[in-house]
Amino acid sequence: MPKILDIITNPDPILRKISKEIDSKNIKSRGFQSFCKDLILTMQKKDGIGLASPQIGKNIRIIVISQKDGPLCMINPKITKKSWAKEIAEEGCLSVPFTFGDVKRHKKINCLYLDLGGEKKRLKAEGLLSRIIQHEIDHLNGILFIDKADNIKEEEK
Ligand code: CO
């Protein structure tokens, strides 16, 4: 049974490390598959629209994203192309609770990643999906949205 994992919050140093790539040979292992399921369940139960592995204390390159047609798990995600055009929208993060801020991101991106079957996939994203992927890949590089945000607001706890 998948389990809900604890979310690590700022200023934990784990959130600032560069996460390691996953060896594609390990993707099909039971341990790895169940870890990805835990990550997805944790995102869903904490009402996140995206979650990156360092946020639950593992510095490995996996992100999960909640989508209408089910969760998307991206292993070793890479942005291969970014639109010149950017847009600004408000973001928050489970690791920076009660905090919101405006972040400028590329409007459209192309990505390359491995899926849970270890298959290489390409994805073109725009709008909210593009934003979430950029936010989550930042986590894999030790970057938090507050590093980039303007008009940071903190809600009463
Ligand atoms: Co985040």
pLDDT confidence of residue 22: 98
Instruction: Determine whether 136 is an active site residue.
Output: yes
Residue-averaged pLDDT of the chain: 97
Ligand 1 centroid to residue 144 C-alpha, Å: 7
**pLDDT band per the 50, 70, 90 thresholds, residue 156:** confident
Q: Which residue of the set 21, 91, 126, 136 is catalytic? A: 136
**H or E, element range at 135:** helix 127-140
pLDDT tens column, 32-80? 999 999 999 999 999 999 999 999 999 999 999 999 999 999 999 999 9
Ligand 1 centroid to residue 30 C-alpha, Å: 26
Ligand 1 centroid to residue 62 C-alpha, Å: 13
pTM value is 0.97
pLDDT tens column, 2-42? 999 999 999 999 999 999 999 999 999 999 999 999 999 99
pLDDT confidence of residue 102: 98
Question: Two tokens at 92?
Answer: 């928050």
Q: Where are the beta strands (DSSP E) in 4-157?
A: 50-52, 62-65, 72-82, 86-91, 99-106, 108-114, 120-126, 150-154
